[in-house]
Amino acid sequence: MVLAAIEDAPRHGYDIAREIDSRSAGVLRFHVASLYPMLYRLERRGWITGRWVERAGHRRRRYYRLTPEGRRTLAAQRAEWRDLIAALTRAAGLESA
Amino acid sequence: MRPNFHELVRKRLPQLTRETAHEIADHLGDLYDDALRAGAAHRDAVAAALSALSDHAALIADPTAVGRLPSGAAPWQPGQSVTRSSRGGAMLVNLQRDVRYAVRMLRRQPGFAAVMILTLTLGIGVNVAVFSMMRAALLASLPLPDPDRLVAIASWTPQSGAHTDFSYPLYVDARDAASGLAGIAGYLSDAVGIATADQRERVVAEFTTSNYFDVLGVRMQAGPGFTGADERRGAALVAVISDRIWRSAFASSEDVVGRTLSVDGQACTIVGVAPPGFTGFVRGERADLWVPLNQFFPLRHRPDMLDRRNTSWMSLVGRLRDGASPSQLEAALTSALRGAAAENNAEWRMRATPASGGDTSLVEGLDRPLQLLMGVVALILVIMAANLANLLLARSYARQAEMAVRQSLGASRVRLAQQLIVEALVLATAGALGAVLAGTWVARAFEVRSAFGSTALSLSIRPDWAVVAFTALVSLVTALAIGVAPALGLRRVTATEALKAGGDMGRVVVTRARLRGALTIVQIAVSLILVVGAGLFLRSLSKIRAVDPSMATDRTIAATLNTTLRGYDEARARQFYSAVLGTMSAQPGVESAALAFVLPVTAGGMRTNLRAGSTTPPVDAPIEFDMVPVSPGFFRATALPLLHGRDFSAADSDTAPRVIVINERMASRFWPSRDPVGEMFKIGGDESYTVVGVARDTKYRSLREAPRMTMYLPLSQFHESSVNLVVRSSLPVDVTIAAMREAVRRADPAMPIYNVRTMAEHVDRSLYLDRLRARLISTLALLALALGAVGIYGVVSYTVAQRTREIGIRLALGAEPSRIVALLVAGGARLAIAGIAIGTGLSVWLARGLAAQLYGVTPADPIVIAGAALLLFTVAVLATYLPARRATRIDPMLAVRSE
C-alpha cells in the first residue's frame, strides 16, 4: 500500500499517510510512530529512497520515491493480489451454483 | 501561536537523530494545520498533533531514526543537544518490548500458558531432582576447608584391588611415616544408642583417632574437642556431639561441655560440639556423635584388639600439607609400610586418592543408577520439548494472519523469530522457577538407599549454585529448542497467504506439517528407547528373582538381637543366647531355632583376605572368603543342605578344638579331589580348624553375585554380640513372631528385638535397588508412552481440522469414509514406523552401556525390543485412529462452507 502510494509521484511522510487514508476511505490509518519506522525499513530494504528537498517558499521536507526494485516488488505483489481476487471470485461463483 | 514542533520533538525524544526529529516535527505540524483548517481550537489542534507521538516505542527502536544519519543529510552542528542511542540500546529496548509483548500474549491465553508452564516445570523439575540427588550423593564436596587436600588412603594389589581396612598399629606406622607430608587420622562408623536424662535415640557415631578433627579441618563450636591422650587404652570416656544433638537434647545450652551423655550404656563426658553442617566424613550417613576409637564396643571387651596387627577394622583419611602431592605420600607410605604389613607381593602399594567428597563407600553403588536416571529424565525432557514445540507451532499458525500483516508492513523475519524465541524464554523462565522448587522437593522426598539397602541414605539435598546453574542451562536449551520450531515455520509470508487463513493450500501448511511430523517421529523414537529400557530392567529383575538361593524362604523367620544395647559382656551374652534358643526350641511347632551372625543374601559380612600360600592346604593365588559364626541348628533352620559331615553341636564348646563347616566352593578349591571332612585347615601359622562338614553353596551377599567361598564357625567358639535369631516353624507367621518375642522377653525383658522379617522378605529386600530401578524406569517409560500418544493424537487431530474442507469435499463426492480413515491412519503409521526404526537403532546403541546393570539379559534382547516396538506401534495406531474416525463424521456441507 505504501509502495502504491508513492507510485505515481514522490511524497513525504504526511502525504503518504493522507493518501492511504483517502484511498482506503478511512479504513486504514497510520500512526506517526509506526509509519516512519516502516518507511525507514522500506528504505533499508532498498525499495524506496528518501531525499531532503528544499523548495522555495517551503520548509525542508523529506520526500520518498520508488526505486526500480521497489517498482518490481510492487508489480509482483499486485499480481498476487489479482490472483487472490480471482480465486475468491471463482470460489464465490461456485458457491452460488 | 504556532508551537515549535521541532523543539517539542527534540525535547520529548532526544534520542532521535536530528533528521528524524525534523521529519516527525513536520508531520506534527501538518497535523496541527489540518486540525485548525477543520475548525478545531488551537489547544485541541496541539493535542491532536501531540497525540500522534503517544506510542513512540517503535520510533525510538528504529535504527535509522536513532542510529545513524541518512546519507546526504546535514552534518551535526557542535553543541546539539540530541543524544544518540547506540545499536545496543535499540536491541535492549527491543528485548524489553518482546518480553512485555510475550507476557501480554500469554496473559490473554492463560489456559495455554498454564499448560506450557506446568509441562516445563514437570520436565525440567524432574531433571533438577535427579541432578540434585547426583550432586548430594556424588558430586558435591564436603563443607570442609580445602577439601581438595583430603585423600583416602588404601592399600592396593592388582589381584584384589583396593583394601581400605587397617589395623591400629598399621595406622600408627602410617601416621608417623607420613608426618612430613600429611596428617593422617583413622575412623569407622557404627550405630549407637545415646541417652540423656530424658531422651533416648539411636544415632550414627564415628569412632575416630584424636587427631581426626584436626586432619579434617573441623573447628569445634564449643569445647576443646579431643586431645592426644583420648584414643589410648584406659583413657576417660569422652564424646563430641553434633550441632543437632546440642540443639535437640541440650537446648543449645552454654554449659554443655562437661555434662555427661550415655553412649551404649556408658557415661561419656562431652568435650566438644561440632559445627553446624558437619555430619561426618562418610557420605550418605549423618553422624551425630564422635567418640575416640578405643570406645568402639568390641574394644571394650577386647582392648588388646587395639594392638593387634592382624585385625583390620578402621579406615584412614589424610590431609596433604602444602606442597605435598598424593604421589609423594603414596611413595612414602609404600616404602615405610611394606615391612610392617608383611607383604611380599611385589606389586603391593599404598594409594592416596582425592577424597574431597568424603568416604564414598556407601554411595559408590549409586553412580551408575543415578547416571542412568539422569539419562532417562533427559530423554523425557526431550519428549516434552517436542510436545511443547508442536503446541507452539500450532499456536503460531493461528497467529499467522498477524504475522503476515506485520511482515508486509516491513517487520523482518529475524525480528519475528526473535520475538517467538523470547516468548519461549519467558515460558521457560517461569517453568524453571517452578522446577527448582519442585525439583528439590521431589529429590528430598525420594528416599535413597545404598547398595546395602537396609538403611536409607542421608543426603543433604538443597538448591546450591550448581543446581541453579544447571536449571538455568537446561531451561535455556529447552527454550531455544521449542522456540526455534515455530520460528523455522515462519516464511516470507505474502499478503495473499495471510488472508488464506485456514485454507489447505499453500506451502506454509506443508512446511508446518513436515515440522510437526519430524517432531512426532522424535517423540516416538525417544519413547521407544525408554520402553526398551524399562523392558530390559523388568526382565532383568525377573531373572534375578528366579535365582535359587538353595535355602528355604518359606516358614522361616528372622529377627536381630544386639546384646551391646544392654551392655552385656561375653559371658552374659552367651547365657542370654542359650536361654532364648532353649525357649524357642521347646516351643511346639518350631522345627529349628538358631543364631547366625549374618543370614544368606545379606550385603555385608565378615570377610577375610589372605595372600597366596598363606593357608594349609596352600593355593597359589590370593583368596577371599566369608566367615559366618552360627549356632547349632542353623542349617536346619534355613534348610540349607549339609552335603557331607555334621552340623555343629554342644560339644563344640569354647574349650573344645576349633571346628568349621565350609561351603562347596571352598571345599573344591582347597581339597579338589577329596572329601574335606576331617581335614585340617590352617591360616598362617597359628589358626587351625578341623573341617567337620560341607554345606551347599548359597548366595551370601546378593542374588546376583558370583560364587564365593564361605566358612561357618560355631558361635560358641567365635562369639558375636549382635546376631540374627532365625526360626523355622510350621506355625503361622504371626504366632511364630509372637513366640520369638516372648522367648526374648523371658530371657531379658528389656532387650530389644528388631528387624523382624520372613526369609522371603529378607531376600526381597536385597533386591531393593533392582526393584526400584525397574519401577522408576517403567513409570517414566509409561509417561513417555503417554506423551508420545498425545503427540500423535495431536498431529492427526490437527491434520483433520486443517483438511476439513478437503475431506468434506471428498465425502460429498462419494468417497468411502473408511478409505479416508485408512489414509489418515496410514499417515500416522508411517510416522510411527519411522520413529520405531530410529528408536530401535538408538536403543541398541545406548543399551550397551547398561550391560553391567542387567542380569541374565543382553542389552539387545530381541524379545524386549520386539515387544516394545509392537507396543508403540499399537499405541500409535490407536492414537491415530481415534481422531481419524472423527473425520468421517464431518458433514460435507458444513465442511465446504467452513473456513
| CA pair distance B344, B118, nearest whole angstrom | 64
pLDDT at B397: 66
What number is the average pLDDT over the span B475-493? 72
Residue B723 in this model has a pLDDT that exceeds 70: yes
Per residue in A20-32, pLDDT tens? 777 776 666 667 7
Minimal C-alpha gap between A40 and chain B (Å) = 6
Does B53 reach chain A within 8 Å, measured CB to CB?
Answer: yes
Q: Tell me the three cell numbers of residue B453.
A: 539397602
What number is the average pLDDT over the span B592-617? 81
- Residue A95 confidence class, pLDDT cut points 50, 70, 90: very low
Whether residues B27 and A32 touch (CB distance < 8 A) is answered with yes
Residue B277, sorted as left (phi over 0), alpha (psi -120 to 50) or beta, turns out to be: left
| CA pair distance B556, B549, nearest whole angstrom | 14
Does B52 reach chain A within 8 Å, measured CB to CB?
Answer: yes
| CA pair distance B679, B711, nearest whole angstrom | 14
Residue B41 in this model has a pLDDT that exceeds 60: yes
HSE toward the beta carbon, residue B79, CA cutoff 13 A: 0
Buried b (16+ CB within 10 A) or exposed e, B595-611: bbbbbbbbbebeeeeeb
Whether residues B495 and A40 touch (CB distance < 8 A) is answered with no
* Nearest Cβ partner for A44 among B27, B28, B64: B64
Q: Tell me the three cell numbers of residue B449.
A: 538407599
Whether residues B70 and A50 touch (CB distance < 8 A) is answered with yes
| CA pair distance B685, B615, nearest whole angstrom | 8
What number is the average pLDDT over the span B72-86? 40
Instruction: Find out whether B49 and B28 touch, Cβ atoms under 8 Å.
Output: yes
| CA pair distance B271, B224, nearest whole angstrom | 6
| CA pair distance B853, B373, nearest whole angstrom | 12
Q: Mapped to the 3 state alphabet, what secondary structure does B252-271 carry?
A: CCCCCCCCEEEECCEEEEEE
- How would you classify the pairing of strands B238-241 and B556-562? unpaired
Instruction: Find out whether B240 and B290 touch, Cβ atoms under 8 Å.
Output: yes
Per residue in B817-855, pLDDT tens? 788 788 888 888 888 899 999 999 998 888 887 887 788
| CA distances from residue B813 to B619, B827, B896 in whole angstroms, order as listed | 90, 22, 12
User: Quick one: how many helices (H) and strands (E) in chain A?
Assistant: 4, 3
| CA pair distance B301, B572, nearest whole angstrom | 12
What number is the average pLDDT over the span B796-809? 72
HSE toward the beta carbon, residue B206, CA cutoff 13 A: 26
B51, B59, B405: best mutation site toward chain A, by most A Cβ within 10 Å? B59
Whether residues B409 and A62 touch (CB distance < 8 A) is answered with no
A93 or B770, which is more confident: B770
From first CA to last CA, the distance across chain A in angstroms is 34
How much of chain B, in percent, has pLDDT values that exceed 70? Answer: 85
Does A62 reach chain B within 8 Å, measured CB to CB?
Answer: yes
Strands (E), B274-333: 287-292, 315-320
Does A58 reach chain B within 8 Å, measured CB to CB?
Answer: no
- Distance from chain centroid for Cα B470: 14
DSSP-derived 3-state class of residue A12: strand
How much of chain B, in percent, has pLDDT values that exceed 90? Answer: 16
Whether residues B52 and A31 touch (CB distance < 8 A) is answered with yes
Report which of A55, A32, A59 is spatially closest to residue B27, judged by C-alpha positions. A32
A27, A36, A47: best mutation site toward chain B, by most B Cβ within 10 Å? A36
What's chain B's average pLDDT?
80
Does A44 reach chain B within 8 Å, measured CB to CB?
Answer: yes
Does B813 reach chain A within 8 Å, measured CB to CB?
Answer: no
Measured between beta carbons, the chain B residues lying within 8 angstroms of A12 are: 23, 26
Residue B726 in this model has a pLDDT that exceeds 90: yes
Instruction: Tell me the count of A-B CB pairs closer than 8 A.
Output: 84
* Nearest Cβ partner for B59 among A36, A41, A43: A36
- How would you classify the pairing of strands A61-66 and A11-12? antiparallel
- Which residues does residue B204 pair with via DSSP β-bridges, in sequence order? B191, B287
Residue B144 in this model has a pLDDT that exceeds 80: yes
Whether residues B31 and A14 touch (CB distance < 8 A) is answered with yes
B9, B23, B24, B69: best mutation site toward chain A, by most A Cβ within 10 Å? B23
Q: Tell me the three cell numbers of residue A59.
A: 520548509
Instruction: Find out whether A61 and A12 touch, Cβ atoms under 8 Å.
Output: yes
| CA pair distance B553, B551, nearest whole angstrom | 6
Measured between beta carbons, the chain A residues lying within 8 angstroms of B54 are: 33
- Which residues does residue B687 pair with via DSSP β-bridges, in sequence order? B683
> What phi, psi does B164 have (nearest 5°)?
-100, 0
- Transcribe B576-591 into DSSP letters: HHHHHHHHHHHSTTEE
B371 or B234, which is more confident: B371
Per residue in B217-261, pLDDT tens? 999 888 888 887 777 777 788 899 999 889 888 888 888 888 988
pLDDT at B407: 66
Rg of chain B over all Cα atoms, to the nearest angstrom:
38
B347 or B747, which is more confident: B747
What number is the average pLDDT over the span B203-214? 90
Minimal C-alpha gap between B483 and chain A (Å) = 25
Range in A60-69, B180-189, B481-490, B628-637 with the lowest mean pLDDT? B481-490
Q: Which amino acid is at A50?
A: G
Does A96 reach chain B within 8 Å, measured CB to CB?
Answer: no
Per residue in B414-456, pLDDT tens? 777 777 788 888 888 888 888 888 777 777 666 555 444 445 5
Whether residues A32 and B409 touch (CB distance < 8 A) is answered with no
Q: B648: how many CB neighbours lie within 10 A of its CB? A: 25
- Residue B896 confidence class, pLDDT cut points 50, 70, 90: low
Helices (H), B53-86: 57-61, 63-66
| CA pair distance B560, B597, nearest whole angstrom | 9
Q: At which residue does the C-alpha cell 496541527 appear?
A: B32
pLDDT at B503: 40
The answer for B 390-449 residues in CB contact with A (under 8 A) is: 409-412
pLDDT at B289: 92
Within 8 A by CB and 6+ apart from B51, the residues are none
Instruction: Find out whether B193 and B204 touch, Cβ atoms under 8 Å.
Output: no
Q: Tell me the three cell numbers of residue B783.
A: 509417561
What number is the average pLDDT over the span B284-310? 75
* Nearest Cβ partner for A81 among B29, B53, B495: B495
A2, A32, A43, A85: best mutation site toward chain B, by most B Cβ within 10 Å? A32
- Burial label for B860, CB within 10 Å (0-12, 13-18, 19+), is middle
Residue B795 in this model has a pLDDT that exceeds 50: yes
> What phi, psi does B357 have (nearest 5°)?
-95, 5
Residue B331 in this model has a pLDDT that exceeds 80: yes
Minimal C-alpha gap between A42 and chain B (Å) = 7
- Which residues does residue B192 pair with via DSSP β-bridges, in sequence order? B203
DSSP-derived 3-state class of residue B55: coil
Per residue in B663-691, pLDDT tens? 999 999 999 988 999 999 988 767 789 99
Whether residues B28 and A80 touch (CB distance < 8 A) is answered with no
Range in B78-92, B320-334, B642-656, B783-797 with the lowest mean pLDDT? B78-92
Would you give the DSSP letter of residue B157? E
pLDDT at B447: 57
- Residue B265 confidence class, pLDDT cut points 50, 70, 90: confident
| CA pair distance B474, B481, nearest whole angstrom | 10
Measured between beta carbons, the chain A residues lying within 8 angstroms of B411 are: 41
Minimal C-alpha gap between B106 and chain A (Å) = 24
Helices (H), B2-56: 5-12, 18-37, 42-51
Dihedral angle over CA of A2, A8, A12, A13, nearest 10: -20
Measured between beta carbons, the chain A residues lying within 8 angstroms of B409 are: 34, 38
- Distance from chain centroid for Cα B56: 52
pLDDT at B501: 44
Instruction: Find out whether B558 and B757 touch, Cβ atoms under 8 Å.
Output: yes
Measured between beta carbons, the chain B residues lying within 8 angstroms of A43 are: 64
What number is the average pLDDT over the span A1-15? 76
pLDDT at A26: 64
Residue B71 in this model has a pLDDT that exceeds 50: no
Within 8 A by CB and 6+ apart from B717, the residues are B652, B653, B654, B656, B658, B659
Whether residues B70 and A34 touch (CB distance < 8 A) is answered with no
| CA pair distance B531, B850, nearest whole angstrom | 14
Does B624 reach chain A within 8 Å, measured CB to CB?
Answer: no
* Nearest Cβ partner for A32 among B24, B63, B500: B24
User: Quick one: how many helices (H) and strands (E) in chain B?
Assistant: 28, 22
Minimal C-alpha gap between B14 and chain A (Å) = 15
Range in B176-190, B535-549, B710-724, B761-775 with the lowest mean pLDDT? B761-775
Q: Tell me the three cell numbers of residue B137.
A: 550423593
Whether residues A34 and B58 touch (CB distance < 8 A) is answered with yes
Q: At which residue does the C-alpha cell 543415578 appear?
A: B370
pLDDT at B310: 66
Q: Tell me the three cell numbers of residue B426.
A: 519467558
Residue B405 in this model has a pLDDT that exceeds 70: no
Report which of B360, B363, B767, B458 is spatially closest to residue B603, judged by C-alpha positions. B767
B6, B64, B809: best mutation site toward chain A, by most A Cβ within 10 Å? B64
Does A45 reach chain B within 8 Å, measured CB to CB?
Answer: yes
pLDDT at B74: 42
The answer for B 62-101 residues in CB contact with A (under 8 A) is: 62-65, 70, 72-73
Instruction: Find out whether B526 and B376 touch, Cβ atoms under 8 Å.
Output: no
- Give ipTM to 2 decimals: 0.81
DSSP-derived 3-state class of residue A64: strand
Whether residues A12 and B499 touch (CB distance < 8 A) is answered with no
Buried b (16+ CB within 10 A) or exposed e, B760-791: eebbbbbbbbbbbbbebbbebbebbbebbbeb
What number is the average pLDDT over the span B639-664? 90
B8, B27, B94: best mutation site toward chain A, by most A Cβ within 10 Å? B27
Closest chain A residue to B503, measured at CA: A88
What number is the average pLDDT over the span B731-742? 89
Q: Tell me the three cell numbers of residue B620.
A: 597359589
DSSP-derived 3-state class of residue A90: helix
B298 or B102, which is more confident: B102
pLDDT at B262: 86
- Distance from chain centroid for Cα B257: 39
Q: Is the pTM of this model over 0.90?
A: no
Whether residues B61 and A81 touch (CB distance < 8 A) is answered with no
Q: Give yes or no for a cis peptide into B617 (omega within 30° of 0).
A: yes
| CA pair distance B490, B422, nearest whole angstrom | 15
* Nearest Cβ partner for B65 among A14, A36, A62: A36
